[in-house]
Amino acid sequence: MSFTIIEPAKSRLNRSQLAVPGSQPKLFEKAWQSTADIVFLDLEDSVAPADKVAARANVIQGLHAFDWSRKTVSVRINGLDTAFMYRDVVEVLEAAADKLDLIMIPKVGTAADVYALDMLVSQIEQARGLPHGKIGFELIIETALGMSNIHEIAGASKRNESLHFGVADYAASTRARTTNVGGVNPDYVVLTDATTDAHGRDNREVHWGDPWHYALSRLVVAARAYGLRPVDGPFGDFGDADGYQAAARRAAALGCEGKWAIHPGQIPLANQVFAPSEAEIQRARRILEAMDQAAREGRGAVALDGRLIDIASIKQAQTVVDKARQMQQAG
Ligand code: COA
Ligand code: MG
């Protein structure tokens, strides 16, 4: 291991993350009752400029109206380049910091953006007599600048808990040619070399690629390097469950802990894809038991089913068992 030790961020379930427009308080109760691990009440891009002030009041009211303690609740503030952000932070935290777990910062571009918010939030916590660090940060990486500076951003504050891939704004920022949010693109394909089959017919094949592979991989690496949760962003076509599941499985395969849901129908899909299976949980428990036994017997090397278990598998087993316990607590 490196001499540099990274403390992992506070551990939370983050399989599904439901977006709820702050301008639609009627949706808050449904979000609160949902099985989403994290709910974020949005003040940013799902709220029109004319509704920003009212949305802020709705969000404060919503944080008080329901007992959010059995799930994680977050508020997405406006960007640092707007005239709304400072009041989002000051008003929401002064009125409801004790009800809130996280704030989500959109379009983070540099580590200094995170530093600025850290300073502001620290002052409010101090003024309100709240424990320092009560409010954690979720950072959306959704611009070319943010993706370029992602490593410095990930390490910019002890409040950082997770990095989120904001695919729609990222596509706009990089001028990627895309039509549906988080979907694939028929132009992003590989055409196999020209060959002919036994009947002389051309049998070139078209293989669809994942245009978000690089961005999401980079985000996973930066998040994990700094002990944060990597989370995949939205999938816009909420009628396409298969498309959503495929995107979620790809993200899970790369190491993401969860995915956004913009509609309640996407929550169970994410919870299912990102939960460890019963078989995985059982195996993880057996790995940890084998490790305990080896320690009791003073053996350094740990074996299970006749095969050596490496340190990385043991760490992963601990993560799986922790997640299973959190899932049980969430009900
Ligand atoms: N949170 C909580 N409840 C939601 C919800 C959400 N994000 N989206 C939909 N619902 C509710 C609806 O109110 C409806 O409730 P009802 O059965 O009591 O009437 C139910 O779930 C089914 O919704 P449906 O009618 O299928 O969808 P819709 O047409 O009402 O809404 C959207 C579709 C996309 C407008 C809506 O899902 C939405 O606003 N999503 C969030 C978008 C967002 O936050 N974007 C920013 C981040 S990318
Ligand atoms: Mg965005």
- Tell me how far apart the alpha carbons of residues 20 and 140 are, in angstroms, rounded to a whole number: 16
Domain count, the chain: 2
Which pLDDT band holds residue 236 (cuts at 50, 70, 90)?
A: very high
Does residue 170 lie in a domain region?
yes
Does residue 299 lie in a domain region?
yes
Residue with CA nearest ligand 1 atom 42: 262
Which pLDDT band holds residue 194 (cuts at 50, 70, 90)?
A: confident
pLDDT at 315: 86
**126 CA distance to ligand 2 middle (Å):** 30
User: Taking a C-beta distance cutoff of 8 angstroms, is the pair 216, 251 a contact?
Assistant: yes
Q: Which ligand is nearest to the CA of 25?
A: 1
Tell me the best of 30, 39, 66 to mutate to test the pocket of ligand 1, counting ligand atoms within 8 Å of each CB and taking the most.
Answer: 30
pLDDT at 280: 92
Are residues 229 and 177 part of one domain? yes
What are 153-172's pLDDT values in tens digits? 999 999 999 999 999 999 99
Are residues 230 and 136 part of one domain? yes
Quick check: 310 pLDDT over 90?
no
Q: Classify 244 as helix, strand or coil.
A: helix
Judge if the beta carbon of residue 163 lies within 6 A of ligand 1: no
Does residue 11 lie in a domain region?
no
User: Taking a C-beta distance cutoff of 8 angstroms, is the pair 42, 19 a contact?
Assistant: yes
Backbone phi and psi for residue 276, each to the nearest 5 degrees, phi listed first: -65, 145
Residue with CA nearest ligand 1 atom 45: 46
Q: Which ligand is nearest to the CA of 106?
A: 2
Does residue 70 lie in a domain region?
yes
**169 CA distance to ligand 2 middle (Å):** 5
Are residues 305 and 165 part of one domain? no
Backbone phi and psi for residue 187, each to the nearest 5 degrees, phi listed first: -85, -15
The residue among 259, 275, 291 that closes a domain is 275
Does residue 187 lie in a domain region?
yes
Judge if the beta carbon of residue 106 lies within 6 A of ligand 1: no
Cα-based angle 41, 43, 47 (whole degrees, multiple of 5): 110
**300 CA distance to ligand 1 middle (Å):** 53
Which pLDDT band holds residue 50 (cuts at 50, 70, 90)?
A: very high
Residues 6+ apart with CB under 8 A from 244: 235, 237, 238, 259, 266, 269
- Tell me how far apart the alpha carbons of residues 242 and 278 are, in angstroms, rounded to a whole number: 23
Which pLDDT band holds residue 298 (cuts at 50, 70, 90)?
A: confident
Higher pLDDT, 20 or 298: 20
Judge if the beta carbon of residue 166 lies within 6 A of ligand 1: no
**168 CA distance to ligand 2 middle (Å):** 6
Q: Which ligand is nearest to the CA of 167?
A: 2
- Kindly report the length of the chain: 331
Domain coverage including residue 133: 16-275
